[in-house]
Amino acid sequence: MSHQKQTLGEFIIQNQASFKYSSGELSSLLNSIRLAAKVVNHEVNKAGLVDIIGAAGDTNVQGEDQQKLDVYANEKFIQTLTKRNIVCGIASEEEDSFITINSQDENHRNKYVVLIDPLDGSSNIDVNVSVGTIFSIYRRITPVGTPVQLEDFLQKGSEQVAAGYVVYGTSTMLVYTTGDGVNGFTLNPAIGSFYLSHPKMEFPEDGNIYSVNEGNYVHFPQGIKNYIKYCQEEVDDRPYTSRYIGSLVSDFHRNMIKGGIYLYPQSSKNPNGKLRLLYECNPMAFLAEQANGKASDGYTRIMDVVPTELHQRVPFICGSKNMVDKAEEFMTNSKD
């Protein structure tokens, strides 16, 4: 491996030709996400120093307390994406409805929409646990030259042209796919550039980590309870190790590197699951599949679910292929 690592900017330009639609727009869009990530990273890293942590006093559309940093990240990503005049619409987990973007000279001529969870796991900020940004990119389906409509955002995950996340951790990484594998870039804070540090990331087919909030065990469906018991049995290479951060980006990132499964099933408390299909599950499912992993709602492929609303929730099981297969098997076998 050469000492001169490739920067994210160089990588985007070099791989532009492999995009299905190579107009340069998607490259500009990824570059603007890179820029916003750097700005948000700066704030996340000094969150302990200034009065930016803690709840903002508003609750978002899901009824969750908004952290001040959520609001900041949301504004930064929307600002950056709007200014650069690349997208025709943005949907954010923090906004009730989608945002239509029309630059005066372009007249709705942009082709991409972005769906974003600006700061996932933000309840962890106060205690210095990693948080992240998750993004998902589609080509619009309504005619170019007209304002975006809801259906531009309600596309199946299989239609995504790009997806990724930024994890603001001990080191800050941007991990993304455009449908040609998954690559990870680490920020060098001294220079302010992301460098290719994890080329061609893949989930091991098997793993020995399971990530689930076992405090909700009593509320889980029988299939998940049975799978958790299976993970805990002293047989063969089990029991597995239990690791749950409660920050989807961090849990997913660790499991992709080490091999594992992440479960956020439906429960009697959250009958449809808790994670959002459009902002969390679809982008993570795209990354998982591109990294030789698998993502399911317990029975079917996440990216085949047809969305009916912007803030739709779904049960989510994701990670190493063989582990997800096994969890699905338990779900199927426990059906009455």
Binding-site members are 93, 117, 119-123, 213, 244, 262-264, 274, 280
DSSP labels for 197-238?
Answer: EE-S----SS-SEEE--GGGGGGS-HHHHHHHHHHHS-STTP
Q: Which residue has the tokens 């290479």?
A: 237
Would you say 129 and 121 are in contact if contact means Cβ atoms under 8 Å apart? yes
Would you say 237 and 208 are in contact if contact means Cβ atoms under 8 Å apart? yes
Q: Which residues of 14-30 are buried (b: 16+ CB within 10 A; e: fewer)?
A: ebeeebeeeeebbbbbb
Integer Cα distance of 105 and 86 in angstroms: 12
Binding region for Mg(2+): 93, 117, 119-120, 280
Alpha helical stretches, state H, 233-306: 248-258, 282-290
Residue 158 CB partners (closer than 8 Å, separation 6+): 303, 304
7: DSSP letter: B
Pair type for strands 209-211 and 293-296: unpaired
Would you say 93 and 136 are in contact if contact means Cβ atoms under 8 Å apart? no
Residue 335, phi-psi category: left (phi > 0), alpha (psi -120 to 50), beta (remainder): beta
Integer Cα distance of 222 and 119 in angstroms: 32
Binding region for substrate: 120-123, 213, 244, 262-264, 274
Work out whether the CA dihedral 292, 295, 296, 302 comes out positive or negative. negative
Paired strand residues for 167: 132, 173
Helices 321-333 and 222-232: crossing angle in degrees, nearest 10, is: 130
